[in-house]
Amino acid sequence: MSVVIKEVVDAKKWYEEGMNKLDPSIYKEYLNFLYDLKSFSIQDHPFIDEMSKAISYTPFSPEKVLFIKQSMDAGESVKRLEIDITDVCNFKCPGCTFQFSQMDKQLPYDKLELFIDELKQAGYRAITLAGGGEPSIYNYNGKRLPDVTEKFQENGIDTFLITNAFALDNEDDIKRLLLSTKGIRVSYYNFIAPGEPEDKNDTVFKNIKKMIKLKEILGIDTAILVGNLISWNNKADYKFTIQLAKDFQTIITPRPFISIKRNAKEAINGDTLKMVLDRVLENYLNIKEDINPINSPVAIREYLERVLAFHLPLVKRCTVTELGLVGKVRANGDLYRCGQLSARSYELEEKDLNKKNTFYTNIYEKGNLNGHVKGIKGLTSYNMCPVCRETINNIRINKFNSIPAYLKEPIMKEVMSSYSGNRNLAYFW
């Protein structure tokens, strides 16, 4: 793994616009406003200082939702939908949200075509092809992943693809995907789980290299992101992430080691919260020193803040589901209110079997999408809610109108500069 791919660009990369332009003291005060850090006596914890320095406008910036909120207030469609076109997967990642179930469900291509038409009529401008399974191995009666992304493109819907890249070795397929998507994120665990191919990392590395080379040849601006989702508290486990960052100079998304308390009250008793912040900070600093944040920005801000948010007793209000802004379609056609709900459907059914439609419907029944986008209140009392990524989006949307002008104005200036007119991931929030 010694080959270095240099991307030659005269102008700044899109994600460098607005990067670290804010005074950390301003951002620190902003975080205190959002989370009332003083009430938990952590406003001066070094963890908060690092969060304040680490702001950057990558696809994973928590501040992107401020752009979304402003766009929504201006009457634009900002609805977001994740779609699993297959449950079949070629990996067995131990952190898999869907427990690498190896199910054989695939979304029929003809049903997908009809659903795309509904999405278009409902005003969706962007979707994400994600995983309950691995999208790149989708094959339904000869229709494969490039056929799916091109179909969305034909209908004016931008696509963001999340893949482990192991099966993306065909140059023609890669070209078609690069030309029909706005962004491709390579995302997976790098260690070899039982039953996985021994050449897993070498194959993924070669395929990423091929993908970036073909992007250069095509001369297009499709964003390529590399996310190594290892979550252990050992610096050696980040070696592959760091290698990818140095060789490909692309955005990386390592997750810090986190210990999530599902009951926030437990986290604020005694010194528990400070101990968690100390541990995460130590791990973050261990990898930070090895990565050039300009050439390979670390999308760590979101993860640092999620650790913080998970451990605080925040007001339970899921605004994104109340407004019908998010959703998840599983490969069997079930349309869930959000991704976390789709991963824990058994919990929903155990909690209230008679209210199944409160949580999900099915896209095979015409008209369900219209009901979905109307939103629903009260989806905050389930075990998966505290670990949901929407937590940091909700707190910004809920407090948007009350953010003091002296904090809001400098942040919004950089947010709008970074995302306005940027179709490469601006709406993949």
- Residue 226, SS3 per DSSP: strand
Strand ranges (E), 89-204: 126-129, 139-140, 143-144, 158-163, 183-188
Q: Is the dihedral of CA 13, 15, 20, 26 positive or negative?
A: positive
Strand partners, 158: 126
The whole-number pLDDT of residue 249 equals 64
Average pLDDT over residues 258-262: 45
pLDDT > 90: what percent of the chain? 33
Record the tokens describing residue 9, joined without a space.
């660009």
DSSP of 315-355: ----HHHHTT---EE-TTSEEESSHHHHHTHHHHHHH-GGG
Confidence of residue 10 (pLDDT cuts 50, 70, 90): very low
* Residue 176 or 17, more confident: 176
Measured at the CA of 425, the angle between CA 283 and CA 98, to 5 degrees, comes to 60
Gap between the Cα atoms of 117 and 114, Å rounded = 5
- Hunting for tokens 């397929």 — which residue is that? 173
Record the tokens describing residue 368, joined without a space.
């369900």
Instruction: Label the pairing between strands 126-129 and 158-163.
Output: parallel
pLDDT at 408 over 80: yes
Question: Is there a contact between 335 and 94 (Cβ–Cβ < 8 Å)?
Answer: no
Q: Which CATH class is domain 77-299+312-388?
A: alpha beta
Which of 348-353's residues contact partners 24+ apart within 8 Å by CB, and which partners? 348/382, 351/382
Other Cβ atoms within 10 Å of 115 Cβ, number: 22
Confidence of residue 348 (pLDDT cuts 50, 70, 90): low
Gap between the Cα atoms of 192 and 162, Å rounded = 20
The whole-number pLDDT of residue 359 equals 75
Residue 290, φ and ψ in degrees, nearest 5: -95, 0
pLDDT at 321 over 70: yes
pLDDT at 148 over 80: yes
Measured at the CA of 294, the angle between CA 288 and CA 296, to 5 degrees, comes to 65
Gap between the Cα atoms of 135 and 87, Å rounded = 8
Tens-digit pLDDT profile for residues 181-205: 998 988 877 778 888 889 988 999 8
- Residue 148, SS3 per DSSP: helix
